[in-house]
Copies of this chain bind each other. A is one copy, B any other.
Amino acid sequence: MILAIQASTSDRVMPPTHRHCYDYPHPAVTTDVVLFTIRQDALSVLLIQRGNPPCQGMWALPGGFLNIDEDLETCAKRELLEETGVEGVYLEQLYTFGDPKRDPRERVISVTFYALSQSDLLTPKASSDAALTAWFAINQLPELAFDHADIVQLARQRLVSKLGYTTIAFQMLPKSFTLSQLQSVYEILLNESLDKRNFRKGILARNIIKETGEYSRIGNHRPAKTYRVINPSQVEIIK
């Protein structure tokens, strides 16, 4: 992955010495990322506390301005890494928000993404930035900066609706997992409990996972078979 070297907060604090001029006014373009994970049996989102105005002190999504020669997805990944230390997660474009008044500084178009992480990978960095990063359960979000609450809500809807017809859920689990863990991901995202036998039958009938041969031996109970995705490289549309 190629990363541009640049100050890493989402705000630009050190204006360069020359200016960039155009015949017509141009909006600024940013990317923002809704990074989901499951922590303590709750769907959670990673947020950053803003260190600069506007909305100073409020919580916001990780994101920032697009470099002029940088792909949109690259920008989203770079900002996520710089601001939170997270990388290697599944990431997908969500929607583009462009209300003329969404940012008080200037016209800002935000191309938003959502990303999914295993609880594993999560070392939201106590990083170089002074910026505070923290996980919040989706039902206990603080007030968010700009229109970020709308973005989170849309991302959640998209994630949940993709559960039904893609293999996206596996992106929230480690490579090898038990069926109970998988069921738990579905239950938390759908916010309803599922029948264990039917869930297992349904998943196995789709032929998208197979046994690893290994067992998970944690807790005072029978070890669980572990599984892995047959085609691990992508989120596929199934059935």
Contacts and interface: CB of A to CB of B under 8 A. Distances in A.
Interface of A: 12, 15-16, 19-29, 65-66, 68-72, 93, 95-96, 98-100, 107, 109, 111
Nearest to A16: B23
A234 B99 CA distance: 22
B23 A12 contact: yes
Contact of A24 (B16, B25, B93): B16
Contacts of A66: 27, 98, 109
A107 B69 contact: yes
Nearest to A17: B23
A84 to B, nearest CB: 22
B68 A109 contact: no
Given A29-B109, A107-B69, A21 B21 contact: yes
Given A68-B107, A72-B98, A98-B72, A23 B15 contact: yes
How many protomers of this protein does the assembly include?
2
A26 B29 contact: yes
A76 to B, nearest CB: 11
B93 A71 contact: no
A21 B99 CA distance: 21
B99 A96 contact: no
B26 A20 contact: yes
Given A93-B95, A93-B96, A96-B111, A68 B27 contact: yes
Contacts of A15: 23
A72 B109 contact: yes
Contacts of A99: 71
Given A27-B68, A69-B100, A98-B111, 13 more contacts: A12-B23, A12-B24, A20-B21, A20-B25, A21-B21, A29-B29, A29-B109, A66-B98, A68-B100, A68-B107, A71-B99, A96-B111, A109-B109
Contact of A72 (B68, B70, B96): B96
Across the A-B interface, the 6 shortest Cβ-Cβ residue pairs: A26-B26, A72-B98, A25-B68, A21-B21, A15-B23, A19-B21
Q: Interface centre among A29, A95, A96, by most B CB within 10 Å?
A: A96
A102 to B, nearest CB: 10
